[in-house]
Each structure stands twice: as structure tokens, then as C-alpha cells.
């Protein structure tokens, strides 16, 4: 949980400084106390007033006298911070930090804090690739700074290249991951499956389902944010790849089975949130099937039951999407697949199930305990599921 945490957000003089508004906004909305420090150069790009309005807190700029009472107060903030993130970070601030120079409020804060420091570089490709910058980044990494690698894309010069500030989702994801270190799933190896598998009919057509992958991705991210080492085995989805997670992409049920078998031996927990196709065409045509007046009949066969057949020393969690007799059907699956618990989902309920951002589920465990949860955002459902995982892990 990141609410009630205190973050220092350092902003330096890059055109990407405006993107820090989104970081400040998302963190503030998540209940984080965001204290912004801006370098002199940063305020040439964006006004401190903007951050003051977004965070509801005074913004420290390097226009203040370092000897002032305010700066001393700020050093105590450095001590109280749970995390310091500099986004965007210029080559200049990276060089100063690598050299340990106490020049300016931001450098002083980084020197004074014991909290983890994250750096999201943003600069021209040649500056980023320059051995001096790379050496500086290596030095910082060696001192346990977390470097959030820049992306490739349009740069201030108008050219395409490496050096663009990392995607905001990746920055927020990295912050969540670092804040979650030492959480209640620390060092646990958790494998999560997500999305709807695609079973080919021919080179361009497939059979699939309406699964969006949102539930599985929410579980993977929530586990990451509680300290787990997560492998996400995902069928195709339109969701962005989460940071800090080992993502394995698959298409078919057969590929998913292989990926689960590869990951399972070292797993502490397997959560199958994927909507695995139950049937697939017996044969996928090599060439695109032509349209004919007589129509088309497909012969189908069952896909391997991944969850039912996988064995090992891990907590096994399944999902069941049901349109009738929810509890009865879910109980049957729980038994058949020898699960520790199952998360049953009434797909006829509104705003629940496939494609939605919310879910209403019932958790049934192998001792018969039934837990009816209210309609919740999928991320909150994920945390409730993980609460049960923690319970089971403590018993195992």
C-alpha cells in the first residue's frame, strides 16, 4: 500500500519536466505525501505553482538560501522520506550525485536521506550514451540507486532516439515496487497467468474469449508491490507490460501450459487468472481458409487442463467465471483441480468479470470457507486474494 507514504519528487531542467505533473498527481491521488524539490533550471520549464496546486504542499526551489531555516527543515524531510525519486533527471544532476557534490537543495537532500533513491534520466541520446553519463549511472547503481531506464522516442531535438523519460506507468510502477520491498510477500516466487488464450484456426483466425487480462495483471502488480518476485504468463492483451515483473508472452493454451511448467518448479504460489480456452480446433489450417457457400464446420478438441494437471509444492489458486450456480460450480472445480482456494466470479453481475475494471468475487477455500466480497476495483480484489495467499503461506 502506498497511501500514507512520504515521497520526495526531485525535478530537474529537462523539457520532460512537465511530465512530472502526472507523477505528482497520480501519487497524490493514491494518498502519498508528495514533497517537490525543483532545481533552478526546472523552474525555467514549469512553474512551482503547478506542483503546489497538485500536491497541496509547499514546493522547495533552489532559489532559497541553503542556510535558511526552511532548508534545515527540509533535511529533516529527507530523513522522513520513504523514497526519493528524481524525474526527469538530467546528465548534470546525475554527474553531481555520482560525485557526491552538495550543490543545491536536491543534491543535499539525496546526500542526507537514507531512503531508496530512484533516478529517471531524460536527455539527448548522445548525452545518455556518453561514457561519462554511463559511468555516473553505474556508480549510482553500485550505490543501490534504482535507475529507471529511459525509453526510445521523440526527443526535444525532434529526432527519434533513446533518452526519452520512461513511461509514467513504469515510473509509478517502479516507485510502488521499491516501496513494497520487504512486504508480506517478500522473496516469494509468484506465478500469475492472465488473458484469454488464442487457439488458431488458420494463419489469420483464432478462437478466443473476452478476457481483458486486467484481473491477472492487477494480481501480478499487487504481488510485486508486496515484495514478491513475479512471473506473469500472459496471453495477448492490450495492457501495457508492467515493470519489475518477468513477463512471458504466449498465445495458445499449449504454450501457456509449457510456460507454467517452466515456471512452476521454483514457485511458491501459482495463480491461474487466465481464461484458458477449453477447446481448440483439432488442426490449424496452414493456409487461410477460403470462404465457401457451404459454410464451415470446425472440429474441436479439449485443451490441456493446466491447473488440474500441474503438481508441485506451491499454493494453487484458480479462478472460475460462472454464469449460473456460482458457488456449486466453483466448489466442484476447487475439488477437481485440487486447489487451495478458488476465486469465483459471477459474470452475469453488472460491472463484474470480463473486460471491466471492477469485479465481484466469492473466495472459496478447500476447507469450505466462503468469503463474499463486494464489488471492488480489480486491484483491490487482487489484494484481497493476496491476503488469502499470505494466510495460506503462513500455514504451509
User: What's the half-sphere exposure (Cβ side, CA atoms, 13 Å) at 231?
Assistant: 22
CA angle 394, 395, 396 (to 5 degrees): 95
How far apart CA 124 and CA 367 sit, in angstroms, is 59
Length of the chain, in residues: 396
Q: Which is nearer to ligand C5P, 185 or 259 (CB)?
A: 259
By CB under 6 A, is residue 272 in contact with ligand C5P?
A: yes
Q: Which is nearer to ligand C5P, 243 or 317 (CB)?
A: 317
By CB under 6 A, is residue 253 in contact with ligand C5P?
A: yes
By CB under 6 A, is residue 372 in contact with ligand C5P?
A: no
Q: Which is nearer to ligand C5P, 97 or 307 (CB)?
A: 307
How far apart CA 321 and CA 333 sit, in angstroms, is 11
By CB under 6 A, is residue 333 in contact with ligand C5P?
A: yes
Residue 38's SS3 state is strand
- The correct pick among 278, 301, 372, 387 for binding ligand C5P (CB under 6 A) is 278
Laid out side by side, the sheet with 229-234 consists of 246-249, 229-234, 189-194, 269-272, 315-322, 341-346, 361-365, 370-372
Q: Which three cell numbers stand for residue 74?
A: 527540509
Q: By the 8 A CB rule, do 51 and 59 touch?
A: yes
Which of the residues are catalytic? Answer: 209
State the burial class of residue 49 (Cβ atoms within 10 Å of its Cβ: 0-12, 13-18, 19+). exposed
Q: Which of these ranges, 81-89, 95-103, 139-147, 269-277, lies near ligand C5P under the rule CB under 6 A? A: 269-277
Q: Which of these ranges, 47-55, 139-147, 159-167, 272-280, lies near ligand C5P under the rule CB under 6 A? A: 272-280
Instruction: State in angstroms the smallest separation of the CB of 69 from ligand C5P.
Output: 59
- The correct pick among 109, 174, 211, 303 for binding ligand C5P (CB under 6 A) is 303
Instruction: State in angstroms the smallest separation of the CB of 362 from ligand C5P.
Output: 14
Q: Which of these ranges, 236-244, 305-313, 378-386, 388-396, lies near ligand C5P under the rule CB under 6 A? A: 305-313
Binding residues for ligand C5P (CB under 6 A):
253, 272, 274, 276, 278, 303-307, 318-320, 333
Amino acid at each position: 500500500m502506498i497511501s500514507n507514504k512520504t515521497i520526495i519528487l526531485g525535478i530537474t531542467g529537462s523539457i520532460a519536466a512537465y511530465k512530472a505533473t502526472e507523477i505528482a498527481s497520480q501519487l497524490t491521488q493514491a494518498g502519498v505525501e508528495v514533497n517537490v524539490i525543483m532545481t533552478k533550471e526546472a523552474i525555467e520549464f514549469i512553474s512551482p505553482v503547478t506542483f503546489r496546486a497538485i500536491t497541496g504542499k509547499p514546493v522547495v526551489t533552489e532559489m532559497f538560501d541553503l542556510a535558511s531555516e526552511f532548508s534545515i527543515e527540509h533535511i529533516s524531510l529527507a530523513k522522513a522520506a520513504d523514497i526519493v525519486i528524481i524525474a526527469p533527471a538530467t546528465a548534470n544532476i546525475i554527474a553531481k550525485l555520482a560525485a557526491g557534490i552538495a550543490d543545491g537543495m536536491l543534491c543535499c537532500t539525496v546526500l542526507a536521506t537514507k531512503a531508496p533513491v530512484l533516478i529517471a534520466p531524460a536527455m539527448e541520446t548522445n548525452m545518455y550514451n556518453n561514457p561519462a553519463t554511463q559511468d555516473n549511472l553505474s556508480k549510482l547503481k553500485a550505490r543501490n540507486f534504482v535507475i529507471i531506464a529511459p525509453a526510445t522516442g521523440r526527443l526535444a531535438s525532434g529526432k527519434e532516439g533513446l533518452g526519452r523519460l520512461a513511461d509514467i506507468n513504469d515510473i509509478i510502477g517502479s516507485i510502488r515496487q521499491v516501496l513494497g520491498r520487504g512486504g508480506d510477500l517478500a522473496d516469494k516466487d509468484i506465478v500469475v497467468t492472465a488473458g484469454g488464450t488464442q487457439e488458431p484456426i488458420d494463419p489469420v483466425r483464432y478462437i478466443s474469449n473476452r478476457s481483458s487480462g486486467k484481473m491477472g495483471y492487477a494480481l501480478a502488480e499487487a504481488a510485486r508491490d508486496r515484495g514478491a518476485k513475479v512471473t506473469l504468463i500472459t496471453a495477448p492483451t492490450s495492457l501495457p507490460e508492467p515493470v519489475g515483473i518477468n513477463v512471458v508472452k504466449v498465445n495458445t493454451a499449449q504454450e501457456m501450459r509449457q510456460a507454467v511448467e517452466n515456471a512452476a518448479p521454483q514457485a511458491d504460489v501459482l495463480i491461474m487468472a487466465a481464461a484458458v480456452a477449453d477447446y481448440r480446433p483439432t488442426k490449424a489450417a496452414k493456409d487461410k481458409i477460403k470462404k465457401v457457400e457451404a459454410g464451415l464446420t470446425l472440429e474441436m478438441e479439449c485443451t490441456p487442463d493446466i491447473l488440474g494437471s500441474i503438481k508441485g509444492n506451491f499454493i494453487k489458486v484458480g479462478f472460475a467465471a460462472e454464469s449460473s450456480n456460482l458457488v456449486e460450480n466453483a466448489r466442484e472445480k476447487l475439488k477437481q483441480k485440487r486447489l487451495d482456494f478458488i476465486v469465483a466470479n459471477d459474470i452475469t453481475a453488472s460491472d463484474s468479470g470480463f473486460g471491466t475494471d471492477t469485479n465481484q468475487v466469492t473466495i472459496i477455500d478447500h476447507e469450505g470457507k466462503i468469503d463474499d466480497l463486494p464489488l471492488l476495483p480489480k486491484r483491490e480484489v487482487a489484494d484481497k486474494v493476496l491476503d488469502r495467499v499470505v494466510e495460506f503461506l503462513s500455514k504451509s
